Structure 1
Amino acid sequence: MEEKLSSFAKSITPSSIQQLSQLAQRCNAINLAEGFPDFPAPSNIKNAAVSAINLDFNQYRHVQEICDFVAKNMKDIHGLDVDPKTDIVICCGQTEAFAAAMFALLNHGDEVIVLDPSYETYESCISMAGGVPTLLVGLWTLKTHESLPHNPTGKVFGIDELDIIAEACHKMDCLAVTDEVYEHITYENERHISLASLPGMLERTIVTSSLSKTYSVTGWRIGWAIAPACIAEAIRNIHTRVTDSAPAPFQVAALAALQSPPQYYKSLREDFISRRDFIIELLTRIGFQVQFKPQGSFFVFAELHKDYEHSDIDFVEELIKQAGVVAVPGCGFFHTKYPPDGYQRRYIRFAFCKSSQTLVAALRKITALLNSSGHLKLFFSDKGPES
């Protein structure tokens, strides 16, 4: 029956992150691959969801109050006036919001500039909507301290970089679509700046975000798009045709999440900083090169030891076999064509949005593979260096 598939369906490959996560489940391995927290969501948010179910909020529903709180947060945090009735669309997670935005904006053959590396979903959504992804290589560089939290590198974009993007949008009459799911997860003195907050960019920017990362509810699938009214209406129409509505009880529970006090976000950042520093110390000690400490998100994009002669995929496979720990090969985030020995095959992404118990268990499994000099045996051939 394969001949019955569309040409586009044949071109889409399985998600490497999802495959690795499923492999972790089958092998009972520790999952540092997929970016979901394995610790509990806040009790008040869970209780709000249970209450909504018990009160029979179980049918198709659009909870307008979510839009009201999202608009309030945009005003309080970024100083932006967004109309909650016309400019905000509730979707099934950020992924659907982004996909619906692509279908709302793209005609066949339209060019979309995407950073390389970037999260794997973007390129597929663009292609599915008929667009042509054009990759911008180099802006992500790990060796600079430029301050949008970025997946997979953890980079936060600073005002100077955002000014360059905004200037290009004005000059070329372009729109920008942002993924701001890590807006509250930034570290030290870094703070997320929404591109929409720059002069003249509110009418040129479609912001997509969700509850998933900030409130540890990646399975709830509550997200939103913020856009000029005519674009928001198109996204809303597409969302309605595809999924009709986001899960009703979780929409109700979102109201509790969006009213979290400032202390919640402060504690969230502090907890993730300690997890980040723990895993960086481990990776550095065993031979990885961590050139750039993540400024946001909850991933470390670590470079393989300089003496490691194989690919990132080879390393991940051996790490699963020998240590029972799953991470993501970096090549899945690079979309340019590259040689087999290119730098795109030299990175591994580790998710540190895990409980202390999970991170300590991973530490024990990995350190069991250290050689006498304290380096990971996987980095060296049988006759390779011990120091």
Structure 2
Amino acid sequence: MAHFLADRALQLSSSNIIHLSRLAEKYKAINLAEGFPDFPAPIAIKNAAVEAINADFNQYRHVQRLCDEVAAMFERTKGVKINPETQVSICCGQTEALVAAVLAVINERDEVVLLDPSYETYEAAVRLAGAKAKHVSMDPPNWTLDFKKLESAIGSRTKAVIINSPHNPTGKVFSEDELAGIAKLCCKFDCLAVTDEVYEHLVYTEAGHKTLATFPGMKDRTIVTSSISKTFSVTGWRIGWAIAPEAISPAITSIHEKLVDSAPAPFQEAAVTALTVGSKYYLNLRAEYIERRNLICEALEEAGLTVESKPEGSFFVFARLPETYPLKDVDYVADLIKSAGVVIVPGNGFFHADSLCNENYRDRYVRVAFCKNIATLRSAREAIREHWRLHSSS
């Protein structure tokens, strides 16, 4: 029956990260693979969702108040004023927002530049559009972007660059100079930028988070995607958005409507409550995640791995296996599941062959999620440390 499949379907495969999460569930292992919290969402927004359901907001629905709050937050946090009626598309999570954005602007035979290591959704979206992804490798240990490599990857068919900051899997937050450099190249070659800013409130540096849309020439060539998923621990609610220039935004909304009609109505209502929380919430959120980050970084170092650059944002650590370690990333992950009951993600899935990344390091990294209860992280710490003790003594 495979001959019935479309070419685009044959280019895609199931998510390895989701597969690992299912293994964790099946074997009752500690899941540090998939990026979802194991602690409750804030009670106020849960109550808002329940109230919306009880008030019968259960049918197809466009909640304009949510667009208004997204625009207000964008102006408040980024200093950019947008029109909530013509520049905001509410989607089923940031993932759908990014895919809809790519489908709205990318044609067959276009090229889209991605920065390696990169999250799996980006290339999948480009392939669904019938376009070609070109990968530019960032260099460890700090995942530095070489602008000569980036410029050489941009050609006459390049339509867009996809930027993820804070970055998954490395935890890198792009500096103002790096974003300025990307902006200059986008303007020079008349490219769009599609950004994934879903971790925008999980930044642990004093400089904070900046969006490409604020740089000269970029307001009208940047599509920003984000969501409430990570910030409010509601990854299953699927409420996200795309903020785009007025000439592009209606196309994103149209694609969204043709795919799913509307995002879940009661959760749209609850998202309005989420986006109106005060600054104290974000301060506490960052403090709690810094504690989790420090704990898991210490745990990985104790287990013989190297944390070359402590995450500046997101809730992932990209740790390197020791040079003398006999196992590659996939084998290490498999052994950790079997021997320690802890599930993490091998790093090689974030690298791509055409990025020209060094073969010496593409299978030496693992991604570890720390968006978990302190108790969960402590249990994982003990299990990983014991695994290393047994391995290093054998």
Shorter-chain TM-score: which interval? over 0.9
Structure 1 residue corresponding to 2:373, chosen from 355, 360, 369 = 355
The one-letter amino acid paired with 2:141 is L
Secondary structure of 1:184's counterpart equals coil
Give 1:179's aligned residue: 196
* Residue aligned with 1:365, SS: helix
C-alpha separation in 1, matches of 2:393 and 2:295? 28
8 Å Cα contact 1:142-1:153 kept in structure 2: no
2: CA distance, partners of 1:339 / 1:327: 22
Note closer, same or farther for the CA distance 1:30–1:199 as it changes in structure 2 (3 Å cut). same
SS at 1:319 equivalent: helix
Q: Alignment partner of 2:220: what SS?
A: helix
**Pairing of 1:222-237 with structure 2 (within 5 A):** 222-237=239-254
Displacement after TM superposition at 1:332 (Å): 1.1
The runs of 5 or more residues in structure 1 that have no matched partner are 372-376, 383-387
Contact 1:29–1:320 under 8 Å retained in 2: yes
Given that 2:341 and 2:383 are in contact with CA atoms closer than 8 Å, whether structure 1 keeps it comes out as yes
Instruction: Give the AA of the match of 1:185.
Output: L
Q: In 1, Cα distance between the equivalents of 2:386 and 2:104?
A: 51
Q: Does 1:367 align with 2:366?
A: no
Q: What whole-Å deviation, never above 9, does each CA across 1:200-239 have from its counterpart, x for those lacking one? A: 2110100000010000000000000000112100000000
Distance 2:62 2:292 in 1: 36
Q: Retained in 2: the 8 A contact 1:190–1:295?
A: no
- Structure 2 segments unaligned to the other structure (5+ residues): 146-164
User: What's the Cα RMSD here?
Assistant: 1.7
How big is the shift at 1:136?
A: 1.1
Asked if the contact 1:116/1:336 (under 8 Å) is kept, the reply is: no
The residue aligned with 1:154 is: 171
Q: How does 1:1-387 map to 2 (within 5 A)?
A: 1-138=1-138, 141-143=140-142, 148-336=165-353, 342-371=360-389, 377-378=390-391, 382=394
The answer to whether the 8 Å contact 1:303/1:347 transfers is yes
Quote the residue 1:385 is aligned against. none
Q: 1:29 to 1:144 in 2, by over 3 A?
A: closer
Residue-by-residue CA offset, 1:231-272 (whole Å, 9 max, x unaligned): 100000000000000000000000110001100000000000
Residue type at the aligned position of 2:327: H
Secondary structure of the residue aligned to 1:60 is: coil
Q: Distance in 2 between matches of 1:215 and 1:280?
A: 23
AA in 2 matched with 1:141: P
SS at match of 1:297: coil
Pairwise CA distance, 1:142: 2.9
Q: How far apart, in 2, do the equivalents of 1:226 and 1:370 lie?
A: 46
2:153 aligned partner: none
CA gap of 1:381–1:307, structure 2 versus 1, over 3 A, is: farther
User: For 1:345, what is the secondary structure of its paired residue?
Assistant: coil
Output the CA distance in 2 between the equivalents of 1:162 and 1:341: 27
TM-score by length of 2: 0.92
- State the secondary structure of the residue aligned to 1:143: coil
The amino acid of 1:154's aligned partner reads: G
1:131 positional shift: 1.3
Query: What is the distance in 2 between the residues matched to 1:283 and 1:339?
Result: 24
Amino acid of the structure 1 residue aligned with 2:369: A
Whole-angstrom distance in 1 between the partners of 2:10 and 2:75? 44
Alignment deviations for residues 142-170 of structure 1 (CA, whole Å, 9 cap, x no partner): 33689x21000000011100111000011
- Decide whether aligned partners of structure 1 residues 341 and 205 sit closer, same or farther in structure 2, where only a CA change above 3 A counts: closer
State the alpha-carbon separation in 2 of the partners of residues 339 and 79 from structure 1.
36
| Contact persistence 1:126–1:132 (CA under 8 A) | yes
SS at match of 1:322: helix
- How many residue pairs get aligned? The number is 375
- Structure 1 stretch 320-329 or stretch 356-365: which is displaced more? 356-365
Contact 2:137–2:357 (Cα < 8 Å) also in 1:
no
Amino-acid identity (%): 54
| Alignment partners' CA distance in 1, 2:64 and 2:384 | 48
Shift of 1:79: 1.2
Deviation of 1:87 (Å): 0.3
Helix, strand or coil: the match of 1:368?
helix
In 1: Cα distance, 2:127 partner to 2:70 partner: 29
Question: What CA distance in whole angstroms lies between the structure 2 residues aligned with 1:277 and 1:71?
Answer: 33
Residues 351, 357 of structure 2: 8 Å contact kept:
no
Say whether the 8 Å CA contact 2:304–2:388 is kept in structure 1: no
Could you tell me which amino acid in structure 2 is paired with residue 135 of structure 1? H
Q: 1:101, 1:233 → 2: CA distance?
A: 10
The aligned counterpart of 1:374 is none
Deviates more, 1:7-16 or 1:161-170: 7-16
Deviation for aligned residue 1:92: 0.4
Give the SS at the match of 2:248: helix
- Please give the secondary structure, in 2, of the residue aligned with 1:203: coil
Preserved CA contact (<8 Å) 2:97 2:240: yes
- Distance in 2, matches of 1:252 and 1:26, equals 34
Deviation at 1:340, TM superposition (A): 10
Q: Give per-residue Cα distances to partners, 1:256-314, cap 9 Å, x unaligned.
A: 10001100000000000000000111111221011101000000000001211221000
